[in-house]
Chains A and B, each alone.
Chain A
Amino acid sequence: MSVTEKDGYSDDKIIDRGSLPTRPFAAIGRKTINWVNTLGAAAIFLALAVLMIFRPKQWTKVVEQIYYIGARSTTIIILVALFTGMVLGLQSYHALAQFGTVGAVGTLVALSLIRELGPVLTAIMITARAGSAITAEIGIQRISEQIDALDTMRIDPLRYLISPRIAASIVSFPLLTALFDLVGIVGGFISGVVLMGANAGTYFYRVQASVDMKDVTDGFIKAVVFAVIVATVCCFQGYFVHMRTDSRGAKSVGLSTTSAVVTSCVLILVADYVVTSLLI
Chain B
Amino acid sequence: MATPLIEFKNVTKRFGQLTVLDRVNAKIYEGEITTIIGLSGSGKSVFLKHIIGLLKPEDGSVLFRGKPLDEMKKNEREASLAQISYMFQDNALFDSMTVYDNVALPLRETTNLGKAEIDRRVMTRIEQMELGDAAFKYPSELSGGMQKRAALARALVTDPRIVLFDEPTTGQDPVRENAILSMVAENRKKFDFTAVLVSHAIPEVYFISNRILALYDRKIVFQGPPEEFESFDHSLKEEIRRSLEELQGKLSGLYAKRQFKVRYHTELKSGTFQETYAVLVFAMKDIDVLASGLGHDAVHKAIDSMSSFIDSYFSAVGGFSARLGLDEFVTVLPYSDVKEAEAILKGFADDFQERGIRDILSGKLEKVAAEMCLEFIVFAGIAEGRPIEGIDDIIESAKKEQREICRLRCRATGVV
Contacts and interface: CB of A to CB of B under 8 A. Distances in A.
Nearest to B15: A12
B106 A5 contact: no
Interface string A47-73: 000000000010000000000000000
Interface in B178-217: none
B290 interface: no
Interface string B70-104: 00000000100110111010101111000000000
B17 A14 contact: yes
A154 B105 contact: no
Interface string B43-82: 0000001001011100000000000000000000010011
Contacts of A83: none
Interface string B25-55: 0000000000000000000000001001011
B138 to A, nearest CB: 14
B109 interface: yes
A152 B86 CA distance: 6
Contacts of A145: 88, 90, 92
Nearest to B88: A145
A95 interface: no
Contact of A155 (B49, B85, B90, B106): B106
Contact of A153 (B17, B95, B105): B105
B92 A148 contact: yes
A151 B109 CA distance: 12
A9 to B, nearest CB: 14
A22 interface: no
B142 to A, nearest CB: 15
B16 interface: yes
A146 B86 CA distance: 12
A155 to B, nearest CB: 5
Contacts of A5: 55-56
B110 interface: yes
A151 B90 contact: no
Contact of B78 (A57, A151, A154, A155): A154
Interface in B83-137: 84-86, 88, 90, 92-95, 105-106, 108-110
Nearest to A145: B92
Contacts of A57: 108-109
A2 B88 contact: no
Contact of A146 (B49, B94, B110): B94
Contact of B88 (A14, A141, A148, A155): A148
A62 to B, nearest CB: 15
Contacts of B54: 3-4, 148, 151-152
Contacts of B105: 153, 155
B17 A146 contact: no
A146 B93 CA distance: 7
Nearest to A152: B86
Interface residues of A, number: 20
B406 to A, nearest CB: 46
Contacts of B86: 149, 152
Contacts of B49: 4
Contacts of A149: 86, 88, 92-94
Contacts of A3: 54
A160 interface: yes
A144 interface: yes
A145 B106 CA distance: 16
A57 B90 CA distance: 28
B55 A4 contact: yes
Contact of B110 (A4, A151, A154): A154
Interface in A79-106: none
A123 B92 CA distance: 33
A152 B85 contact: yes
Interface string A1-20: 01111000000111000000
**Most chain A beta-carbon neighbours within 10 Å: one of B56, B92, B108, B110:** B92
A2 B54 CA distance: 7
Contact of A144 (B16, B55, B78, B95): B95
A280 B190 CA distance: 70
A146 B78 CA distance: 20
B170 to A, nearest CB: 14
B162 to A, nearest CB: 11
Contacts of B88: 145, 148-149
A5 B54 CA distance: 9
Interface string A184-209: 00000000000000000000000000
A5 B50 CA distance: 12
Nearest to A140: B95
Nearest to B54: A4
Interface in A131-169: 141, 144-146, 148-149, 151-155, 160
A57 B118 CA distance: 15
Which 8 pairs across A and B sit closest by C-beta, in order of nearness? A152-B86, A149-B92, A145-B92, A153-B106, A155-B109, A12-B16, A145-B88, A152-B52
21 contacts: A4-B54, A4-B55, A5-B55, A12-B16, A57-B108, A141-B94, A145-B88, A145-B90, A146-B93, A148-B88, A149-B88, A149-B92, A149-B93, A152-B84, A152-B86, A153-B109, A153-B110, A154-B78, A155-B106, A155-B109, A160-B109
Given A146-B93, A149-B94, 12 more contacts: A3-B54, A14-B17, A57-B108, A144-B95, A145-B92, A148-B88, A149-B92, A151-B52, A152-B84, A153-B106, A154-B78, A154-B82
